[in-house]
Amino acid sequence: MELPGPNIGLSPRSRQPSYSQTLHFTKSPNMSRSYFSSHNAIESGHPSYSASPFKIRTQTLALADLANSDEDDGYSSINPIVDPVDPNVTSNLSKLLRKEPKTPSPPDSSPTTKVALTSTSNSSNNNNKPEIRIDGYSNEEESRQHDSKGESRPLLSDNNKFLYNNNNNNNNENNNRDEILMEENFWEEKPWFEWLPCVGGDSGEQSHRRQNNFQFTPQTILKNFFLNPISYIPAVILGLLLNLLDAISYGMITFPISNPIFADFGPDGISMFFVSCIVSQLIYSGGFSIFGGGNGSMMIEVVPFLHIMADIIAKGIGDDKEAIIATTILSFALSSILTGVVFLLLGAFKLGSLIEFFPRHILVGCIGGVGWFLVATAIEVTARLEDNLRYNFETFKYLFFDIHVLALWSSALGLAILLRAIHMKCHHDMVVPFYFMIVPLLFYFVVYIFNIEWDNLRGNGWVFPMPKGDVPWNNFYTHYDFSKTNWGVLLQTVPAMFALTFFGILHVPINIPALGISLNEDNVNTNRELIAHGLSNMFSGMVGSVQNYLVYTNSVLFYKSGGGNRVAGLMLAAATAVVLFIGPWIVGYVPIMVVGALIFHLGLELMKEALIDTWHTVNRMEYFTITVIVIVMALLGFIEGIFVGIVMACIFFVVSNSSKNPVRATFSRSSIKSTVRRRYCQQQFLKQVGNQVYAIKLQGYMFFGTTNSVETTIRHALTLRQWIRNPIRFLIVDFSLVTGFDYSAAETFIKIQRLLQTKNVYLVICGALYNSEVGKALRVGGIWGENPKEFVQIFEHFDEALEWCENMLLQAYYNLRSSAIRANNQHQQTSPRVTPTKQTPPKEILNNVSPRHKLVQAAGRITLHEERPRKYLNKATKILIEAFQEITDKNEEFFDQLAPFFHEVKVPTGAVLWQQDERPDCLYLVEKGILRATWRAAEGEHAKPVESILPGSLAGELGFFAHRKREATLVAENECTLWQMMDSDFMKLPPKVANDFMRLALNFSAERLSTMTQYAFHLAQ
């Protein structure tokens, strides 16, 4: 083959006055892939998609060749093409759409071609054209030529430069300057035990902290063993005060003291509270938590569930007091162990993020329910109710008509309301601790001034009664008696234990990230904290205590007071142990109103958080759910409230998702087209009949609540009125934005497919990967199976589906036309003419009752009329006229002036004509084959196909005329025959001819811009 000159396909920087170079064209790594195709697609032979991209592209090229026949009797020689309506008609073209055991594809083992260009002169004389030699070389040699862009470099001879600049050929020294030096596996998550102080390490900041650089000098000994611990004392005193207040308030209500059986268990509850605090503090400050100074305390929110278990046991056993006590306290410890095991498993299997999927508004409702429980408990404790708070008239009279009782509980409520008022004016974190330090002092001052007897205060309900006898701190251990435990009744508390555990584990993923933000700790690992909570709760249960967790408020106060250190946390554990060993006698001097005020304060705070703070932050259905949960928990119980909340969340999920339209957009082919650049006449034809392609873009989760809208939309397109106005032939359903698919949705699409088949409408599915959730659901439903259905086509991407529909519309017309022309030729003789004449069959032959065929025929008569070929002066003139005759009225003389400046070039499969961002030096007119344009967003990313250019189209005209860098890499998808115009050729054109040619060529750019704009809007919808 001869080339017109030595500068074919070379950028200006690569041209030399004389040279002898070897240019290598390598097969692109993404050969025969349609737009948006990816490497993870199923192989062609797999029973997945209806046709591989290679089959679709071969079909497209075959249809383009139909419009380029040089034979006068070409219509009669065309093999019959299958009509989409009549599947019994067979043809060579239709075989491309059939399922075969192995879809033909370009062989990977084909040798890379090497084109040697030899020239000794830069003359543009076409008589001295360089000789081209094509040789093969091994795949191993080819593999060494791939650059970082994924394309293949030209293989050059030893003493020549590269044809293309390689931006990655910088020396290693320069590259290293731009590198960010980072430790390997820097972001890899470390095992939890590597964070312990006793475990060594050699990477990261935490390991640096753990290095033992301590030197035993008098200064360091004084600082680390005396001065630093002394500086932690204020924070330890504050933490101890908070623990003491919480123990007196919440430890007192660990057991339901309103029940006569547990009336004297307040001191035991305080001891269990302190034991739980000490265990959790040792675990967290001992190295298992990243918050070394975090404060661990009893999990207050589980108190309602502890009361539920005690009530179940009391009702199940009856009058055996000792059995009730032994079974109840054992159930508390076992529930703590169960909570710890669940925490530990979640952290060990790194499932911390799983908890975040639980609806947050249900948790908020449960918090509101806990708030009401604390308010009710405060009333029970301060009003000295003998039973739980009941919502009846007798209880109402007792609380409001007994002045003494009213004074008892209203004084505590008044203190809580006063604290709320003070806190609204002063938002400092120390307001609450100092408030509850001052109130007892004022109480003791009043008692001292008026010389009130303590026994009178205890008898009238102003102070807690003294524990009977000399009760030690470990008195609660005497209640454990396995011989008196009722194991059958204990099993009845298991549901309450799981409810308690479920409610408890929801707090950690909320408290831990919030604590990390407040303390500026960026290395928080939720899974590690779950393991720490699991260990603390397991050990707490093993030593006979209750659940615990890392308390957000206390931890923040402790850190801000200077206790953000593991030593300070261990000192707090020691101080708490000292208070525990002193004994519970201090309870006899604690004012009940102080305890009640603290319980009221927390209860009101939680209810405010659930019912007031969420008023403008959640939608109406969520707020209604929160309110119902709080009411149900107050009236029926906590387990019932959680169950009602979950049921309501499921119902509202269905309702809310059903109200969202799953149809994101609907459009026809007239508003969007494939990225294949076809002949102008075929483009015009497809514009005329494009309404027969109807596309629906779906979104969200497809289930029984959303598929009804999809079915309604499709049925509307098939109604008689809509069918008369616009009959459709193909329905494209795009699943690319669908996140999930259930079985009921698959049944709906089976029904839709049967409905479409009765109308002879193809269901074309795209955007569903074979192994995705949508793909599996379609296979289970029988839509996507081993045996392809007659009117169902499935493709990987939307562009492939749209290209297939365009091909079917084109081949339907060509089939009707070729059949009609053959029938017409049997009745009349035609003589060759010099001038072109339209070859349109008689109307009576093309008459058809199908409205879709009528639209195809009408569009074809307007846009696809063929002219009998005529003999031109040269081949270039013929190619130019065929490319531009539909968009201009220029005569043959104009194209004769252009023809000498186009040079025929034949390129092998996989040849890279130019690279992205190169300077333009030529343009191409495609005579035969397909060119593929690929684009990458950034250096090093995989190139994506963005356009396919068929015969009769120009390539590279916009950059050529505007002198802009190439926007994409251009690759020959198969063996191509091209006509090339160089810069030098364009500069030699007469000005008027050059200007007219530029106007004609920019028509292709305008068409491409329209296509890409439509695709941009399609992706944005």
Distances (CA, A) of 691 to 527, 673, 730, 764, 1019: 55, 11, 9, 15, 20
Cα 12 from chain centroid (whole Å): 45
CA–CA dist 820, 866 (Å, integer): 14
pLDDT in tens, 680-723: 788 888 888 888 999 999 988 888 878 888 988 899 888 888 88
Q: How many CA atoms lie within 13 A of 425 on its CB side?
A: 5
Cβ proximity of 883 and 678 under 8 Å: no
Instruction: State the average pLDDT over residues 508-528.
Output: 79
Residue 48 has pLDDT above 90, yes or no: no
Residue type, 329: I
Highest mean pLDDT among 174-183, 357-366, 763-772: 763-772
Computed from CA positions of residues 647, 650, 653, 658, in that sequence, does the dihedral angle turn out positive or negative? negative
3-state secondary structure of 933: strand
Q: What pLDDT, on the 0 to 100 scale, is given for residue 866?
A: 52
- How many CB atoms lie under 10 A from the CB of residue 443? 18
Q: What pLDDT, on the 0 to 100 scale, is given for residue 429?
A: 66
Q: What pLDDT, on the 0 to 100 scale, is given for residue 209?
A: 42
Residue type, 962: A
Closest-CA residue to 939 (of 173, 186, 170): 170
3-state secondary structure of 959: helix
| Mean pLDDT computed over every residue of the chain | 75
Closest-CA residue to 863 (of 637, 597, 679, 734): 679
Closest-CA residue to 965 (of 924, 922, 918): 918
3-state secondary structure of 977: strand
Q: What pLDDT, on the 0 to 100 scale, is given for residue 67?
A: 62
Cβ proximity of 933 and 969 under 8 Å: yes
- How many CB atoms lie under 10 A from the CB of residue 313? 26
Residues in the chain: 1021
Cβ proximity of 512 and 529 under 8 Å: yes
Question: E strand or H helix at 62, and its extent?
Answer: helix 53-66
Distances (CA, A) of 858 to 66, 474, 681: 19, 98, 14
Q: How confident is the model at residue 842 (pLDDT cuts 50, 70, 90)?
A: very low
Highest mean pLDDT among 38-42, 194-198, 269-273: 269-273
Indicate the Cα dihedral angle 380, 384, 386, 387, nearest 10°: 0
Residue 181 has pLDDT above 70, yes or no: no
Q: What pLDDT, on the 0 to 100 scale, is given for residue 183?
A: 36
Highest mean pLDDT among 67-76, 389-398, 466-475: 389-398
Residue 43 has pLDDT above 50, yes or no: no
3-state secondary structure of 359: coil
Cα 890 from chain centroid (whole Å): 55
* Selected residue with higher pLDDT from 160 and 524: 524
- How many CB atoms lie under 10 A from the CB of residue 345? 13
Q: What pLDDT, on the 0 to 100 scale, is given for residue 856?
A: 61
3-state secondary structure of 741: strand
Closest-CA residue to 705 (of 651, 750, 749, 658): 658
**Of 342-346, 513-517, 923-927, 982-986, the least confident:** 513-517
pLDDT in tens, 292-311: 888 999 888 788 899 999 99
pLDDT in tens, 248-294: 777 888 998 778 888 888 889 989 999 999 999 999 999 899 998 88
Strands (E) across 277-322 are located at: 296-298
Residue 802 has pLDDT above 80, yes or no: yes
Instruction: State the average pLDDT over residues 644-660.
Output: 82
Instruction: State the average pLDDT over residues 512-538.
Output: 85
Beta bridge partners of 977: 906, 928
Residue 1021 has pLDDT above 70, yes or no: no
Closest-CA residue to 225 (of 217, 235, 234): 217
Residue 221 has pLDDT above 70, yes or no: no
Q: What pLDDT, on the 0 to 100 scale, is given for residue 739?
A: 86
CA–CA dist 966, 238 (Å, integer): 70
Structure tokens at 391: 């919502």
CA–CA dist 5, 904 (Å, integer): 10
Instruction: State the average pLDDT over residues 402-407.
Output: 90
Cβ proximity of 371 and 605 under 8 Å: yes
Q: Are strands 792-794 and 903-907 parallel, antiparallel or unpaired?
A: unpaired
H-only helix segments in 587-619: 592-611
Cα 834 from chain centroid (whole Å): 64
Edge to edge, the sheet with strand 944-949 lists 676-677, 944-949, 931-935, 969-972, 912-914
Instruction: State the average pLDDT over residues 396-404.
Output: 89
Strands (E) across 72-159 are located at: 112-119, 132-137
CA–CA dist 501, 496 (Å, integer): 8
Q: What pLDDT, on the 0 to 100 scale, is given for residue 130?
A: 37
**Overall pTM > 0.85:** no
- How many CB atoms lie under 10 A from the CB of residue 967? 16
pLDDT in tens, 726-737: 889 999 999 988
Percent of the chain with pLDDT over 90: 20
Q: What pLDDT, on the 0 to 100 scale, is given for residue 149?
A: 38
Q: What pLDDT, on the 0 to 100 scale, is given for residue 95?
A: 37
CA–CA dist 216, 564 (Å, integer): 24
Q: What pLDDT, on the 0 to 100 scale, is given for residue 390?
A: 82
Q: What pLDDT, on the 0 to 100 scale, is given for residue 84?
A: 42
CATH architecture of 49-96+681-827+838-870: 2-Layer Sandwich (3.30)
Edge to edge, the sheet with strand 112-119 lists 19-25, 112-119, 132-137
Using a 10 angstrom Cβ sphere, with 0-12 exposed, 13-18 middle and 19 or more buried, the burial of residue 612 is exposed
DSSP string covering 77-103 = HSPPPPBTTBTT---TTGGGGS--SS-
Q: What pLDDT, on the 0 to 100 scale, is given for residue 877?
A: 87
Contacts of 275 (CB under 8 A, 6+ apart): 540, 543, 544, 545, 580
User: What DSSP character marks residue 225?
Assistant: I
3-state secondary structure of 161: coil
Angle between helices 321-348 and 494-505 (to 10 degrees): 40
pLDDT in tens, 318-372: 888 999 999 999 999 999 999 999 999 999 988 877 766 777 788 788 888 878 8
Percent of the chain with pLDDT over 70: 72
Cβ proximity of 476 and 268 under 8 Å: yes
* Selected residue with higher pLDDT from 821 and 384: 384
Residue 547 has pLDDT above 90, yes or no: yes
pLDDT in tens, 859-886: 555 555 554 555 556 788 888 888 888 7
CA–CA dist 612, 794 (Å, integer): 52
The domain segmentation of the chain, as residue ranges, is: 49-96+681-827+838-870, 225-635
Residue 930 has pLDDT above 80, yes or no: yes
Q: What pLDDT, on the 0 to 100 scale, is given for residue 924?
A: 93
